[in-house]
Amino acid sequence: MLTRSFVQLILVQIRDFYREPAVLFWSFLFPILMAWGLGIAFSKKPETTKTIALVISERKSTSAFEMLCKSNHFEKRLDSISKTYTYNISYGNENLGITHFRLKPASWEQAKLMVKRGNAPLIIAINEGKLEYHFDKYSSEGQLAYLQLISLFNGKNTTIQQAEIKPMTEKGTRYIDFLIPGLIAMNVMMSTMWGISYTLIEARTKKLLRRMVATPMPKWEYILSHISARIVLCFAEAAIIFAFAYYYFDIKVEGSILALIVLFLSGILGFSGLAVLIASRTAKTQIGNGLINLIVMPMMLLSGIYFSYHNFPDAVIPFIQALPLTMLADGVKAIFNERAGFAEVWKYILILNGFGLITFVIGLKCYKWY
């Protein structure tokens, strides 16, 4: 049976909660805004564009493919950037959603690079008059694109022979090769943001920072100790993820190990500076939760961790590529799958270090110790 004192204690906790407007925002309004935004993004089926790598190995196959495109009402367009022709066709309707396919001619090396980077879900190759579909059989995006394309091609009288599926098993072209480097990069963000920001905010909430400042210790030393510990933990966590991927999925680092270490360290420093800035003035763990989620959740969705960010409209891709997690993930993927070294990732290293230094200095300047 509920006593009066017990009811009053419950009411005290509730009153303490709603007296903080910021807490109300992060607890109620922010989830609603996130649900609204994600609902708009994923509940509708707007027109989308998918780029398909097209490899034609013989000149005589070009004319056969031209006839195939003509019989299937492909539209031939000149790409203003690459100055090459692309073959365009649409699939679907207003009820199912419309997918615009853009078949882009490329060499085998260029086509494989497009798949590795997530720019194309599959490769169409024409070899000796035979149509071949190359994609990772475990990729749902590649499977869907294949099914849509064969439905466009089937039933037409063409000089191209029956199509054949050739699963891509080369390292770097599998979906798992795309996923694991992205997960390693995302782990850096999650580990630093929660391990540093939330810990500092919680210490301020529990009045532990007062005790730390009272000791004969430089203030900056306390914060740097958190960053240094996080560096050690991030490398340990990444080593565990990589060891599992190496033994279970046979994933290897094809590029420079030293470049990977420097880039990885730059990513930790970049997100550590941001974590210090977020924790610099926040005095409530509820607010800290909201601020951290406000930073990490959009990057988890946009930065190409689980699926390619090239699925988003072209207008927003430059903004996505400017995100810290996107730069770190793209750099790690390039080293893992494209044999990249310092020459290919030095810009990411420079930007991440600069970003971390600037945010750390700002956070340290306005840090609230009491």
Report which secondary-structure segment, H or E, holds 38.
Answer: helix 30-43
Q: Does residue 102 belong to any structural domain of this protein?
A: yes
What local confidence, expressed as pLDDT, does residue 159 receive? Answer: 47
Going by pLDDT thresholds of 50, 70 and 90, the confidence category of residue 356 is: very high
181 and 159, same structural domain? Answer: no
pLDDT in tens, 325-346: 999 999 999 999 888 899 999 9
What local confidence, expressed as pLDDT, does residue 17 receive? Answer: 63
256 and 111, same structural domain? Answer: no
What local confidence, expressed as pLDDT, does residue 262 receive? Answer: 96
Q: Does residue 122 belong to any structural domain of this protein?
A: yes
* Contact of 283 with 200, CB cutoff 8 Å: no
301 and 229, same structural domain? Answer: yes
Rounded distance, CA 32 to CA 16, Å? 22
Rounded distance, CA 53 to CA 42, Å? 26
CATH number at residue 88: 3.40.190
Domain hosting residue 215, numbered range? 177-365
Scanning the structure block, which residue is given the tokens 């210090």?
276
* Contact of 327 with 314, CB cutoff 8 Å: no
Q: Which amino acid does the sequence have at 324?
A: P
313 and 216, same structural domain? Answer: yes
- Choose one of 118, 141, 167: the last residue of a domain: 167
What local confidence, expressed as pLDDT, does residue 308 receive? Answer: 82
Sheet containing 75-78, strands listed edge to edge, beginning at the edge strand earlier in sequence: 75-78, 85-93, 97-105, 48-56, 123-127, 130-135, 161-167
pLDDT in tens, 98-151: 788 888 888 888 888 888 888 888 888 887 767 888 888 778 788 888 888 887
Q: Does residue 12 belong to any structural domain of this protein?
A: no
Average pLDDT score over the chain: 81
pLDDT at 38 over 70: no
For residue 242, CA distances in Å to 168, 251, 331 come to 22, 8, 16
φ/ψ of 315, rounded to 5, equals: -65, -30
Q: What is the mean pLDDT of residues 188-201?
A: 89
Q: Of the ranges 7-11, 170-174, 244-248, 277-281, which one carries the lowest mean pLDDT score?
A: 7-11
What local confidence, expressed as pLDDT, does residue 157 receive? Answer: 45
Q: How many domains does the chain have?
A: 2
277 and 353, same structural domain? Answer: yes
Q: Could you tell me which residues come within 8 angstroms of residue 339 by beta carbon, excluding any fewer than 6 positions away? A: 254, 255
Higher pLDDT, 193 or 160: 193
323 and 204, same structural domain? Answer: yes
What local confidence, expressed as pLDDT, does residue 347 receive? Answer: 95
Check: pTM over 0.85? Answer yes or no: no
Half-sphere exposure of residue 250: CA atoms within 13 angstroms, side-chain side: 6
pLDDT at 65 over 90: no
355 and 245, same structural domain? Answer: yes
123 and 181, same structural domain? Answer: no
